Every structure is written in C-alpha cells, then in structure tokens.
Amino acid sequence: MVYVARHAHPERTTMSVTETDAPKALEAAEGTLAVEEVARHPLPGMAIPDQVAFSPDDRLITYLKSPERSLVRQLFVFDPQTGKENLFVSPPDGGTTEENVSLAEALRRERLRQREIGVTTYAWANRASRVLVPIKGDLYVQDGPGAPLRKLVASGGAPILDPQLSPDGAFVAFVRDAELYVVDAAGGSPRQITSGARGTGKTHGLAEYVAQEEMSRHHGYWWSPDGKWIAFAEVDETHIPIYRIVHQGKATTGVEAEEDHHYPFTGKENARVRLGVVSVSGGEPVWVDTSYGEEVYLARVHWLAGGRLAAELQNRVQTWLELVSFDRATGARTRLLREETNVWINLHDLLRPLADGGFLWASERTGYRHLYRYDHEGTLVAELTRGAWMVDDVRGVDEKGGFVYFTATAAGPLESHLYAVPLDGGEMRRITTEPGMHVVTCDRACRRFVDVHHANDRPPTVKLRSIEDGAVLATIHDEPDPRITALGLTPPEIVSFPSRDGETLYGALYRPPAHFGKGPFPTIVYVYGGPHVQLVTNGWNMTVTMRPQWLRSLGYLVFMVDNRGSARRGLAFEGAIKHRMGSIEVDDQVDGVRFLVSQGLADPTRVGVYGWSYGGYMAAMCLARAPETFKVAVSGAPVTHWDGYDTHYTERYMGMPSENMRGYEDSSVMRHVDGIRGKLMLVHGLIDENVHFRHTARLINAMIAARKPYDLLLFPDERHMPRRPPDRIYMEELIRDYFVRNL
C-alpha cells in the first residue's frame, strides 16, 4: 500500500501551483530533470573502465567497459605501445543478468552492491597469461588476447560460487554445494577436495554473512602462492535460528516464495568458523589453532613469504586484533602483532607480504591510519607515515626499488592522492597533483599506474601515468558523456562550518537555479551519517548525485553534511558515536541547518531530510529528536532499533546489548517517537535481507501506539537497494511529491 498525504497547503509548495497538478507542473518547469534521468544507471559520466588490471607481464591493461554507456559490460584490452583498445571478451548469450543468476549469486551481488551485468568480473593469474571469466554461472578461461574463450565448467544444478585462479594459472578452484572443488585450467573434470559439509548445513570455502556484509571479506578460501595448498573456512550456522523472508509479491506460495537466512542478531550467536588447510590434491585438512577462550572473528587470511599461513583474528567487541601465523603441518599459532583500542578496530586490506618474510601493516594506533613495516617475527622495523591524516590504500610495493606507493588524505580530507615513501622510512613524495580524487592501479613493476581521476567539476578520466613524476603516457578514457551537457548539471559548493562545540564539519550545497531568487529557500538535507562512509568530497560523484540535482531544479536548497561518525577524518572523529548512535550525528545535522539559516539560505520553517539505510535511520531520528528543525522526513530502509541488526556491525559501535542496554534503548527511533511533529514517509523493500522490513514494522507499531500519522511506500520485490528501473522511477516520483506537498 502507498499512502501519500493530501492536505498540504498550496502556498507551501516550491511553485505557485495547485496541489493536484503540482507534480505535472513541476515536471514541465524549465530546467527540471526528467525522473527517468534521476533513476537511471550508470550515472552521467560514470560509464568508465572498471576493474582495471595489468597483465602479468605488464604489457597490457584490461578493464570492464560498456561502449553504449549502459550497465551491460564487456572485457576490453588496451595496448599502451600502440594506443589501441580492443574487445577481449564479449559475454555469450548476453552474459549475466539480474534474472539468470542463482539466489546465492544474487545475494553475493547484494553484498558487493553490484548492479552491472554482462561480464561482471574477471581475474588474471598472477604468473600466467590466463584470464578467468565467470559468466551466467559457467566458468570460462582465455589464454591471453586472441585466444578463444573456452568454457571450463558448466554450472549444472548447483551454482558455482567464488571461482579463483591459482597464482600460476594451472588450476581454478570454486565452491559448489557447500564443498571446495579444483579443476585443471587446461580442461578436465572438477575434483572435490573437501568433504563433510554437504548436507549438514555447514559450508567449506564460503564467507559467512557478517564477513561479507560487514567485514568486507567476500572470500572463504585462499590459494597459497605456490598453488599447492588452499586455506579455507568451515562455517557452521546451524545453531542460528532461521529468519524467514516471504516473497509476498509473488503469485505463488510455498518454498519457491520463501528464503531462510541464518541471521546473527546483535547479542545472539554468531556463525562458528574454523580455518583449515588442504592440499590441492585433496586429503585430510589441517585445522589451525584459532582458540582464545573467548569468541573471535576470522577477519582476514593471508599467505606470507615461504608459504607461511597467517590470519587476522578479532575479539567479538572488536577492541583488539591479533595478526598470527600458523605452522601448516601442526596448526600451531604464533602471534606476530596485537592491536588494542578503547574505540574499535577498523579492519583494512593494507597488509602486504614482503619477500624477506616481513610485511607492511596499517594501524590507527595514533588516531589516524598509517603504515608500518615489520620483520618476519613481527618486530617493528620502520614507521613509514605519520600525521593528522590517513592512508586510504596501498597500491604498490617496489621491494627492488625500495618504495611503497599509497593513496592518502594528506592533502586534505576531501581528496585522495598517490604518494611514495621509502620502505625503510623517510620523506614521502606526492605523485598526483590535479585536485580531486585519484583511484590508482599500479603495474606489477611499479613503473606506471592507471589513474582514474575526477573532481566536482571534472568527470572521470582514465590515464596511464609514469610513477616517477605522474606524467601522462597514454589516455585510456577521456570521452565526454553527452548526458552531462544535456542535463546541465551544476557542481555543488563545498563549505565548512563549526559544530556547536567547535568541530569543523564539511558540507555540500546544491543551490536552486537563479530564477528562484537568492533565498531563503525551502531546504532538504540528504543524510547518511554512519561510519565507514564519506559523502562530501571533491569528487564527480557529488555532481551526479541525481536526487539533489533534481530537487534543486525544483527550487529546493539541498544540503549534505558529514557529521561525526563519518569516515576519513580519523578515529576520534569517527568514534564520537561510540555507544550512542543517533545522538551527536543529529546535533551535527542540526548545526548544518543553523549554518544555512545564518547565511540567509534556508527557511527555518521549511526543512526536510531524507536518507537510506543508516541515512534512513538518521532521517527518522532527525524528525524525532530535532522536531524544531526538521518538518518532513523520508526514511528509506531504516534500522529503527539496533537490537534488530547484525552482530559485527552493531557491536562494533554499540557494544553488547547486555552491557549497554540504556545505549541501545536511547539509540532506537521508537524511544523518541513522541517527539515527532512533522511528516514521515517510510520506504522499504519487503525482501530486504540486510535491514529487514521488521524494522519499519516495529516503528509503525510505535507510531500507532503514539497516535502519530505516517506514510508508507513498499516494494514487494526489492531488497536493500531498489534495482528495477520501474521501481526506482516510481520511488523518485513519490519522494518528490512528498516533499512538494509537505514542505
């Protein structure tokens, strides 16, 4: 059911039109965007080469790309010597689509936030000219450019999950029906190398739900560098009660319209995970020692030099993490290092093995994430970076030349640039100079890098550059997207202002076109507000955030603020929300509105807010906890009470429910429903397996009990992120109408 309020006053809309013809008039107004453009993917200028990789010999550059600027992608190859681009792999029969993937693969796509179809992923072998390309559940390999695409394994009945080439390209491993298989990449029949999971509810070689969704660990097995061994996770979720999701929008009922999930609710039991090592030939695995006398997470798994297996193990409340190594024959554990904090440990993917058995490591022990070098025993050798800024990623390690290449916020928290620092420590050198964001892929020799560069006023370009001085060696992609000119998109203004207690906050301001005057304007705040996300950057994604662009074209001032709790500002800035979500974040959003009012830009009597997921939670909390500021809220897929979300995410920030009962209660939307005085529209997909519809249902119960009106927009066939174009168009129209009628 969709119920939209019909009692807004005509004079409260952004244009002088009657209530019944408001949407039609707004669509026809000069300079407004068509709703189809707002809902369309890829975004303007964003149909660019993706998953960029160098061939093992560094001669070629491969990437996924859609020549027609759609979501359907093919694999291309670029030769820097000739400057020519050629098609490498075109998907047979159209490739992967939303309709032809298994449920297991559809859920993996959700975890990866993947919308693209056609060829969706590929991988080179580390040391062989061989490429693995999974398409529609089948496995294909291609032995370099010009070679024929060979089907290696057909999916058959059970879906093939997480296929990976061995480093030498000789084998492909994958998971099927809960067990690990290996097949010769030259051809042949797959061999099952693990046993004992099938039919028991356990799995071998797959990452559990919270590992995929919250730890960004999407793999459950790992090839050894020599290709002779595979480390794998055994996951047992049979003790976790089933959470059933019914597809209420289907014409059928029964098993085919139901999904059963072992969802680990905060404070409840997690999956039981152990780590084993098995020969590529099969046989009995060696189970390594991950026992601590308390529950731990298998956060990361690595192979160090010499075939030494290592793992990152984290305690449940995530206040310590150990990097340990294992004896492959006995499974005995040795600690290499330990990180401890009174905030929380943020996982990362910055460990890099070194040839001497040592490794690079990243830590937030100073309050900002920086790089450190350790020897093979875990002794600190050198602090490589320092300062009130953070390292984003390690992009290359040149052991022969003695340098580490990394991206970081050293130029400011709104940008990302490539730097080099000596492996032994010393002065770092900035390589990229153009303002904005730089997403970098280094070649294996660390002589060149592919730079995807973009800024608020510059759509992404893809160029091959020298790692010595950043000079452009070749242009891979610099094609103007005609949609950009046709839509007339205006970059937002980046502003900064102090919070009520003096913290500097950054915001992005989307002003209405000049014909709406100079203000004050009806204002809509776009919020996310949660950890591990940064909205405001000097990046093209700001300009092509289409809903703000649409709303500004209708006469609204649109504003977004990265409140405390957001990413890339250091651990103290992020950790301000510890044990009290939905509090200081709301204060910072209110301070953003006050800043706009002080500038004569926002009409303080006409302020709305919208967001999705954590942003949906924040939209509802803003309406409930700051009713004097926010009059209208659109809350998409909100977490309304943290006792209904998963373990690894929630307990990181809120602690265990048994130890922070008051914090959990105060952080729930239901606790503050009595404060709501404005208009609230709730939006949710009924088959959302991440933030269950139960969250919205519980809030509705609280609204009914408090006799508070609400509006509801449901999508029976959508999960956490609406995918189908008709659903997205419909949603955008109704969100627009809601603000027009009520603000």
Q: Which amino acid is at 698?
A: R
Q: Is 720 a catalytic residue?
A: yes
CA distance 198 to 181: 13
| CA-based radius of gyration for the chain | 26
**Termini Cα distance of the chain:** 23
Residue 375 DSSP SS3 = coil
Q: CB of 678 within 8 A of CB of 633?
A: yes
Name the residue with tokens 């307990």. 651
Catalytic residue among 262, 348, 454, 720: 720
Sign of the dihedral through C-alpha 403, 404, 409, 414: positive
CA distance 162 to 289: 25
Strand 458-466 to strand 437-442: parallel, antiparallel, or no bridges (unpaired)? unpaired
Residue 632 DSSP SS3 = strand
Q: Is 688 a catalytic residue?
A: yes
Strand 296-304 to strand 308-315: parallel, antiparallel, or no bridges (unpaired)? antiparallel
CA distance 682 to 697: 10
C-alpha pair distances (Å), 209 with each of 28, 33, 612, 722: 46, 39, 21, 20
User: Pick from 139, 186, 193, 179: which is nearest to 163 by CA?
Assistant: 139
Structure tokens at 466: 């020298």
Q: Is 261 a catalytic residue?
A: no
Q: CB of 561 within 8 A of CB of 506?
A: yes
Q: Could you count the other beta carbons within 10 Å of the beta carbon of residue 317? A: 16
**Dihedral, CA atoms, 368, 371, 373, 378, nearest 10 degrees?**
40
Q: CB of 139 within 8 A of CB of 149?
A: no
The beta strand positions in 409-489, using DSSP E, are 417-422, 429-430, 437-442, 448-455, 458-466, 472-477
Sign of the dihedral through C-alpha 95, 99, 100, 103: positive
Q: Is the bond leading into 148 cis (omega within 30 degrees of zero)?
A: no
Q: Which amino acid is at 307?
A: G
CA distance 26 to 554: 7
Catalytic residue among 451, 688, 711, 737: 688
Burial class (CB in 10 A: 0-12, 13-18, 19+), 5: middle
User: Pick from 383, 431, 397: which is nearest to 411 by CA?
Assistant: 431
Question: What is the crossing angle of helices 614-625 and 584-598, to 10°?
Answer: 70
String of b and e for 635-661 (b: at least 16 CB within 10 Å)?
A: bbbbbbbbbbbbbbbbbbbbbebeebe
Sorted by sequence, the CB contacts under 8 Å of residue 20 that are 6+ apart come out as none
Strand 229-236 to strand 221-223: parallel, antiparallel, or no bridges (unpaired)? antiparallel
Name the residue with tokens 């203004």. 493
Structure tokens at 729: 């168009």
Structure tokens at 380: 């600190």
Q: Could you count the other beta carbons within 10 Å of the beta carbon of residue 10? A: 13
Q: CB of 142 within 8 A of CB of 199?
A: no
DSSP 576-602: GGTT-TTTHHHHHHHHHHHHHHHTT-E
Q: Which helix (H) or strand (E) holds 35?
A: helix 35-39
Catalytic residue among 613, 635, 667, 668: 613
Name the residue with tokens 């970076």. 385
Q: Is the bond leading into 42 cis (omega within 30 degrees of zero)?
A: yes
Residues belonging to the active site: 613, 688, 720
